[in-house]
Copies of this chain bind each other. A is one copy, B any other.
Amino acid sequence: MVDRTSGVPAYRQIADHLRGQIESGKLAPGSPLPSERELVDTYDASRPTIREAVKLLRTSGLVVAQHGRGVFVRPPSVVTRLARTRLSRSARAENKGAFMGDAAAGDFAPSVSVRVRVEAADERVADLLNVEPGTEVVVRDRVMRANNDVVQLAVSRLPRDLTQGTPIEEVDTGSGGVYARLEESGHVLDRFEEFVSARMPTVDEQSLLQLPEGSPVITVTRVAYTADRAVEVNDMVLAANRYELHYEFAAT
């Protein structure tokens, strides 16, 4: 089963063989791999070697281990597409926020946990909002869930002079979310900027988003502007295996 003369490490050959079985469908999504002890027999390798092979499959996100139960072929993840139209006024009309609108478009049961606090703007936030460092900002720290799985983290920061006395400083901002409340108080949104990149998750993000080891996150920093000024910085972290962002723009 394993060619010891090829120069390719045994754990790699075993991982490749298992990967082949998964990709060919011999091991169906959701089904368990043979137990590590069984694999020790079939490949005639030690258990650490088998574990290293399985670990490779785990870090590449192909399988998920469950302590005491087994190692299972990960079902392909559903990709949610985020289009910028989610930020349109019409989309706000019916929903509490952009995320709830996404949920209405897909078909998952959404829920959001929010914590609100006030802090001083650090250098980066101050720069993006074009205020002095140290200016008071309202921070809305959100955890978004779809069918009880955490799929998105978001931290919004708004200069406090815009939010004082509005529901933006409350946990529940009401229908249409933060953007609707801003526009009601006269701060009509003019445009958005988004900065998109990707990186490996922190340890906290990995456990919160239930990411397999070695699975990256997409980072989006959105800055909302009125005609006059920047009014919000929103730092979002998305599980890359579950999201695709969609942008559309005219050729000029």
* A251 CB contact (under 8 Å) in B189, B199, B250: B189
Residues A199 and B84 in contact, CB atoms below 8 Å apart: no
Residues A251 and B197 in contact, CB atoms below 8 Å apart: no
**A108 interfacial contact with B, CB 8 Å:** no
**A216 interfacial contact with B, CB 8 Å:** yes
Q: Mark A228-239, 1 if CB is under 8 A from B, else 0.
A: 000000000000
In the complex the two chains form, what is the Cα distance from A190 to B250 in whole Å?
Answer: 6
Q: Mark A97-137, 1 if CB is under 8 A from B, else 0.
A: 00000000000000000000000000000000000000000
Known: A200-B214, A251-B189. A244 touches B84 (CB 8 A): no
Interface centre among A79, A84, A216, A252 (most CB of B within 10 A): A216
Report the copy number of this chain in the oligomer: 2
**A48 interfacial contact with B, CB 8 Å:** yes
Q: Provide the residues of chain B in CB contact with A200, threshold 8 Å.
A: 59-61, 214-216
**A240 interfacial contact with B, CB 8 Å:** yes
**A4 interfacial contact with B, CB 8 Å:** no
In the complex the two chains form, what is the Cα distance from A218 to B200 in whole Å?
Answer: 12
Q: Mark A180-221, 1 if CB is under 8 A from B, else 0.
A: 000000001111111111111001000000000111111000
**A43 interfacial contact with B, CB 8 Å:** no
In the complex the two chains form, what is the Cα distance from A89 to B70 in whole Å?
Answer: 55
* A245 CB contact (under 8 Å) in B59, B79, B195: B195
